[in-house]
Amino acid sequence: MNSKVFFLLSILAFLAFSKLTLVSCRKAKINHGLDGFTLELIHRDSPLSPYYNPSITPSQRLRDAFQRSFSRVSFYTKASIHPTTLVNHAIQSDIIPDYADYLMKIAIGTPPRKTYAILDTGSDLTWIQCKPCNRCYKQILPIFDPKKSSTYKTIGCQSKECKFVRESTCGSKNVCEYEVHYGDGSYSIGDVASDTFTFDSTYSKKVNDISIENVVFGCGHNNGGNFGNHTAGIVGIGYSNISIIHQLDKQIKGKFSYCLVPNGDLSLPYHSPNTTSKINFGPKAFVSGTNVLTTPIIRKKSVVLGYDLFYFLNLESISVGGKKLEFKSSQLMSSSDVADEDLGNIIIDSGTTLTYLPENFYDKFESILVETIKGSRKIAPPGVDLPICYETKSVVEFPNIVFHFTNADVETLPMNAFSKVDEELTCLTIVKGDHYGIYGNLAQMNFLIGYDLVNHKLTFLPTDCTKH
């Protein structure tokens, strides 16, 4: 064969192989004229959830939610005992996502294959189970097969997307690979790839489906641990360059917001199928009004995890019944992009049910709270594990609790801090952590909460989320 012809054929073969296996550095892009969209969030205990079990009592659902919360943050407790070991571990651990509370419907590939995934502000990389499975946990809906998607492409090792993935490695055929481990021993391992993600949108009557091209995600061929069989993986919206929020930065301008429907109390519309929570992206996420409160989002690294993943706020104090307690910074947080290392002492997390306060602060908080409440204190029933409970056969007045964030005094209603766990007992849903602070989703319910990652601001607006 002529050497020139052989050379040209070699080049063509290489280009064809590259086109099949490696994606160029194209940004994720929404495929319609709108610059934003709104999606439904499904609480895992809602009748709309695939996990919903009608035979379980409302009281048991609450207990299960509390246990998920304890399990989700158990990693922090372990880390506080051996932080150095965890920080220096070759593969960093995230908080446990499958104990998060909110699911979303997604469809992946072309043609789109529908499934459910967990939405998590405590995760950055989006990943799903993929065929072929070296090992996969049981999944009821079909596992995604990338060979059946015409828009699926793997990511090359030298791409910037590969560099954004924490602890990525270079596999065979120059394919970027990821490995994620969680605090309970669960894990996902596979290829970093891109494909089209399709969502059901409520933004406009004219646009029902929102397709986002070139979403970088993990295609997991080896997955195991405590993942539920109704969900295919995780949709990560944490604070890092690989999260979907940052991938869509040009389209949504770094803005998203959500409004969580109350569902943590037996007296609230816990079972109503018509009261879904919403998450907004882009212009739709803009929060405005006379009662808007704004506080800085602090970008910094966690000492435990060693990278900037979470949304930190700065909590200065908490008031109970007019008495103010100064809030001390957490020992598990370290400064990164801020001059004052004491800034950024509490994580706001949509996936954690309860609110956690550091151990040394909580004791003082509990003392003032108990002095304020006039009622008969009771021990929580087995499985509830909440330390402060009151008998509510008769009327008991629970105080509003004010969280004094920097420039934002957020006054929570009793429903944000107390849950009726059975017909005669109401318990505080703010609990003792170790050295960390987490502002959980019960405290966020009936607030429209907006994230502006361009200006590093978070907004609170009291809102009836059932009407939002």
Higher model confidence: residue 258 or residue 74?
A: 258
Which of residues 60 and 356 earns the better pLDDT score?
A: 356
pLDDT for 72: 73
Least confident segment among 72-76, 82-86, 237-241, 449-453: 82-86
Residue 210 has pLDDT above 70, yes or no: yes
pLDDT of residue 318: 97
Answer with the one of 259, 277, 297 that is the final residue of a domain: 259
pLDDT of residue 136: 94
Residues 242, 352, single domain; the answer is no
What sign does the CA torsion over 59, 418, 350, 437 have? negative
Q: Which residue has the tokens 């993943």?
A: 309
Out of 259-268, 272-281, 288-297, 441-450, least confident range: 259-268
Tell me: do 221 and 356 sit in the same domain: no
Are both 445 and 362 inside the same structural domain?
yes
CATH code at 114? 2.40.70.10
Looking at per-residue confidence, does 124 or 27 come out higher?
124
At 19, is the pLDDT very low, low, confident or very high (cuts 50, 70, 90)?
A: very low
Q: Provide mean pLDDT across the span 7-19.
A: 41
Among residues 98, 101, 120, 308, the one annotated as catalytic is 120
pLDDT score at 112: 95
What confidence category does residue 75 fall into, taking pLDDT thresholds of 50, 70 and 90?
Answer: low
Are residue 204 and residue 307 in the same domain, yes or no? no
Token digits for 168? 């990525």
pLDDT of the residue at 203: 53
Q: What is the pLDDT of residues 133-152, one digit of tens each?
A: 999 999 999 999 999 999 99
Report yes or no on 16 lying in a domain.
no
What are the pLDDT digits (tens) for 340-361? Answer: 556 788 999 988 889 999 988 9
- The answer to whether 452 is a known catalytic residue is no
Question: 221 and 311 share a domain?
Answer: no
Residue 323 shares a structural domain with residue 232: no
The predicted structure's pLDDT at residue 340:
53
Please check whether residues 301 and 225 belong to one and the same domain. Answer: no
Q: How many domains does the chain have?
A: 2
pLDDT at 461 over 90: yes
Q: Is residue 367 part of a domain?
A: yes
pLDDT of residue 69: 80
pLDDT for position 47:
86
**Of the residues 211, 238, 259, the one at which a domain ends:** 259
How confident is the model over 87-98, as a mean pLDDT? 40
Task: Name which residue leads in pLDDT, 67 or 25.
Answer: 67
* C-beta atoms surrounding 205 within 10 Å: 6
Residues 94 and 181 in one domain: yes
The boundaries of the domain holding residue 97 are: 26-259
Q: Which of 79-83, 186-190, 270-274, 329-333 has the lowest mean pLDDT?
A: 79-83
**Domain closes at, from 259, 278, 304:** 259
Q: Is the pLDDT of residue 4 over 90?
A: no
Same domain, 239 and 297: no
Average pLDDT, the chain: 81
* Confidence at residue 239, expressed as pLDDT on a 0 to 100 scale: 85
Q: Is 274 inside a domain boundary?
A: no
Q: Do the domain assignments include residue 7?
A: no
- 3-state DSSP: the chain helix, strand, coil percent, rounded to 5? 20, 35, 45
CA distance 92 to 75: 12
- Using pLDDT thresholds of 50, 70 and 90, give the confidence band for residue 98: low
Is there a domain that residue 143 lies in? yes
Catalytic residue among 124, 349, 422, 452: 349
- Find out whether 183 and 95 touch, Cβ atoms under 8 Å: yes
Query: Does residue 336 lie within any of the structural domains?
Result: yes
Residue 385 annotated as catalytic: no
- My answer on whether 101 and 59 are in the same domain is yes
Inter-residue long-range contacts of 336-339, CB under 8 Å, 24+ positions, other chains counted: 336/299, 336/300, 336/301, 336/308, 337/299, 337/300, 337/308, 338/298, 338/299, 338/300
Q: Does residue 21 sit within a domain? A: no
Tell me which residue has tokens 């009662």. 291
Same domain, 363 and 439: yes
In a domain, 104, yes or no: yes
Q: What is the pTM assigned to this prediction?
A: 0.85
Residues 232 and 363 in one domain: no
Q: Are strands 447-452 and 113-120 parallel, antiparallel or unpaired?
A: unpaired
Higher per-residue pLDDT: 284 or 459: 459
